[in-house]
Amino acid sequence: MTITYHRSALKSLIFSIVLAFSSLSSFAQEIPTDAGAVSAGKQLFDTNCKTCHRVDQRLIGPPLAGVEERAPSVQWIIDFVRNSSAVIASGDEYANNLFNQYNKVQMTAFSSFKSEDVLNILAYVKSEAEKPKEATPTDGPQTPGQPTSGAPEYLDLILIGMVVILALLVVILLFLISAIKRFLDTRELTEEQKEIVHSPITFGTITRSRGFIFIVAFVVAALGFKAVINALFSVGVQKGYAPEQPIAFSHKIHAGQYEIDCQYCHTGASKGKNATIPSVNICMNCHNQIKTGTLTGDAEIGKIIRAYEQNKPIEWVRVHNLPDLAYFNHSQHVAVGNVDCETCHGPIREMDVVRQHSLLTMGWCIDCHRTTQVNAQGNAYYDKLLEVHEGSGKKGMTVEDIGGLECAKCHY
C-alpha cells in the first residue's frame, strides 16, 4: 500500500517535471529574424548597449556576436540584461565567471526591458554578425597627421620634371660630344688641335666649364624659389597646424573605430562657448579597465593612470585658437544652428593627430554665414521671422539675414 502510494507520487513528480520542461520549451524564446525586429533592435542597441558592447569586438563588455550560443539559454540572456547583478548573486556559474573575467564591472540593469526588446537586440546582433565583413576605410594605408600647409604638390612635380629634362639633356650632350670627337679624328688636325679634342674630362675641367656653372646656378635658384613659395603659402595661416600632444591620443581609434560620441568627451559643445577638452576622469571611465593599446602599447595609457593618481591635469596643446578680438560660441552653432562638428573641424574621425582643418579667418566665418540657411524648423521665434522675411519675396533665410554679418556679433 505504502509502496503504490510512493510510486504514484513518483509518477506524478516525474510527470510534473516533464510538464514543466515541455511548458518551458513551448515558451522557449525564438530570436526573430524579420527586418522590423532587426531595426528595432539596432535602435535599442545603439542607445543602450553601444557604450560598452560591440558586435565583434571586446570593449568594456564582451563582443555580443554568438552570445545566444555560448550563454546558458536565451532566457538567461533576458534575465541577465534585465538585472545582471541578481543573476550573479544567485550563484550562477556562467555569470560569475564572466563577471570575474570582466574585472567585476557591473553591467547596467535594464529592468524596464520586455523579453521582446532583448530578443530584438539579439536579432540585430545576429544579423550584424552574419554580415560579410566589408573592408573599412581604416584598413587602408594610413596617412596620419598630414599637414596641409605649404605649397601645393604640383610644384614638387614641376621640380621633378625639370630634373628629368636636365638629365636627358646631359645624355644627349654626351652623345654629341663623342660623335663630334669621332668625326674630328677622321680629319687632318695639328698637334695643338688634337690636344684640345682629346683633353681628358676631369673634375677640374667640368667644374670650370660654363655649362656646369649654369646648371648649378639654375638648381640653386629653383630650390630657393620653391622655399620662398612654401613660406608664402603658410604666412599667418594656421591651417594644418597639428602639434604633438603629451599623450598619443587618437581620434581615429576613439571617435572613428569605437564610434564614441564627440560630446561624450567634449561636453561643452552644445552647452556653452567652449567645447572643452575632457578631464582625466573621463578617460578613466574606460581606461581603469582598458590598460593596453594595440598601437602604442601600455606606455601611453600608463601616462593617463599616472596623471589620475597624481591628480595632475594632462597638458594638452591647444590646436585651434582665435585671436582675443573675435568671439565664437559652440552652442550657438552646434545646438542652435545644428552645424556638424565635421563641417568646421573636418574628418576628425580619421585623424590620429588632430589638425586644424579650416582657415578660421574672418572670411571663412562670413562666407558660411552668407550661404547657410538658418535651421528654423520648430522654432516659434524663427517662424515669425521667416514669415516676415519670405513676405519680402526671398526664399529661405541665411545667417546673414538674422544679423550674422554684424561686426558686434563677432567682435567684443
Residues 82-101 that bind ligand HEC (CB under 6 A): 84, 98-99
Angle at the Cα of 203 (from 198 to 207), degrees rounded to 5? 105
* Single residue of 13, 217, 326, 388 touching ligand HEC by CB under 6 A: 326
* Contact status, residue 275 vs residue 269, Cβ threshold 8 Å: yes
31 contributes a contact to ligand HEC by CB under 6 A: no
Nearer of residues 102 and 155 to ligand HEC, judged by Cβ = 102
CA nearest neighbour of 283 among 310, 313, 244, 252: 313
Residues facing residue 411 across a β-bridge: 326
**307 contacts: CB under 8 Å, gap ≥ 6:** 280, 313, 314
Using rule CB under 6 A, residue 365 touches ligand HEC = yes
Which C-beta is closer to ligand HEC: that of 188 or that of 387? 387
Options 22, 295, 302, 383; binder of ligand HEC; rule CB under 6 A = 295
In this complex, which beta carbon is closest to ligand HEC, that of residue 168 or of residue 359?
A: 359
Q: Return the residue of 184, 282, 305, 385 that touches ligand HEC, per CB under 6 A.
A: 282
67 is a site residue for ligand HEC (CB under 6 A): yes
Q: For residue 191, what are the CA distances in angstroms to 3, 185, 194, 196, 197?
A: 141, 12, 5, 9, 10
- State which of residues 129, 222, 305, 336 lies at the interface with ligand HEC (CB under 6 A): 336
| Of the candidate residues 264, 308, 331, 400, the single one contacting ligand HEC (CB under 6 A) | 264
Residue in 75, 83, 102, 234 binding ligand HEC, rule: CB under 6 A: 102
Instruction: Choose the stretch contacting ligand HEC; rule: CB under 6 A; options: 2-10, 24-32, 50-58, 180-188.
Output: 50-58
Bridge partner list, 373: 398
Only segment of 30-38, 75-83, 166-174, 209-217 that touches ligand HEC (CB under 6 A): 75-83
How far is it, in rounded angstroms, from Cα 92 to Cα 71? 11
Contacting range for ligand HEC; rule: CB under 6 A; set: 12-20, 23-31, 202-210, 368-376: 368-376
Report the residue from 49, 74, 78, 397 that binds ligand HEC according to the rule CB under 6 A. Answer: 49
Residue 26 has which C-alpha cell? 513551448
Smallest distance, ligand HEC to C-beta of residue 314, A: 7
Query: Do 33 and 69 form a contact (C-beta atoms < 8 A)?
Result: no
Which C-beta is closer to ligand HEC: that of 155 or that of 362? 362
Q: Residue 127 in contact with residue 39, Cβ under 8 Å?
A: no
CA atoms within 13 A on the CB side of 132: 2
**301 part of the interface to ligand HEC, by CB under 6 A:** yes
Minimum distance, C-beta of residue 176 to ligand HEC, in the bound complex (Å): 56
In whole angstroms, give the CA distance from residue 353 to residue 203. 49
Interface pick for ligand HEC out of 37, 334, 386, 397 (rule CB under 6 A): 334
254 and 285 Cβ atoms separated by less than 8 Å: no
- Closer to ligand HEC by CB, 169 or 237: give it: 237
C-alpha 271/C-alpha 334 separation (Å) is 9
